[in-house]
Amino acid sequence: MSDDNELTSNERAVLLVLMSEGRQVSNTELAERYGFRIPAAIRDRLKDLGLLDVVRSGSAYLHEVSDPGWKRGGTELLADFEVPARPPKMQVAAWKALAHAAGRYLAAAGVTPSEFFSAQPAVATETVNDEKPADLEGRIRAAYQKIADRPNQSVPLSDLREQINGAPVSLLNQTLVKMYAEGLINLTPGADQKSRRKIDEQAAVRAGGEAKHFLSMEL
């Protein structure tokens, strides 16, 4: 990574906050939730680097992490950085956002904090889950048929996940995205963020650059 592409601490913080949100966010929302607004200089630089998608909605800007931004964000999460004695507001906001995102993930995955933080690297055993995407596709279809009353009915992903108990979250997400890309299912976002249920937010899968909360398919 060249020095020209290196992020400042505040630019990194903004990227991590938006990653934690996983959706389009306005400065008004950021100010209400985290106590800061994205300065134009940071917004423009992250956009120029291809890390943010920025659209205008009326007089407001909506910010969302781009696909390259997600990849870069993964690198930034593992980067070594110094913690100042008095960290800027944006850095504090990033730590808060990441903590909340971790909490949402643990709740959705059914993992307790003690299990997460005391976990050791997985060792292959005879009980390793070797479920394949093809197997999960069948389970997704069966679960949908159980939930939906008619073909192409939109059903919450939260309901689908309840039916597919025990499947690895990451593999289920990968399979849903694969089926979506192949046109086998349709994934759509829910209503506006304020009216969505918390369980729907936690069950969402990211596809096509946005969070999807509902699934439909031919029976």
pLDDT band at 7 (very low <50, low <70, confident <90, very high): very high
Tell me the range of 85-89, 97-101, 129-133 where mean pLDDT is highest.
97-101
Q: Which residues contact 85 (CB under 8 A, 6 or more apart)?
A: none
Predicted pLDDT of residue 129: 53
Q: Is residue 188 part of a domain?
A: yes
Which CATH number covers residue 71? Answer: 1.10.10.10
Range of 181's domain?
133-216
Q: Is residue 51 part of a domain?
A: yes
Burial 93-119 (b: 16+ CB within 10 A, else e): bbeebeeebeeeebebeeeeeeeeeee
Q: In terms of domains, do 102 and 139 share one?
A: no
Look at the chain and report how many structural domains it folds into: 2
The answer on 82 and 139 residing in a single domain is no
Most confident segment among 68-72, 163-167, 201-205: 68-72
144 found inside a domain: yes
Per-residue pLDDT tens for 131-172? 566 689 999 999 999 999 999 999 999 999 989 887 888 889
Q: Do 18 and 86 have their domain in common?
A: yes
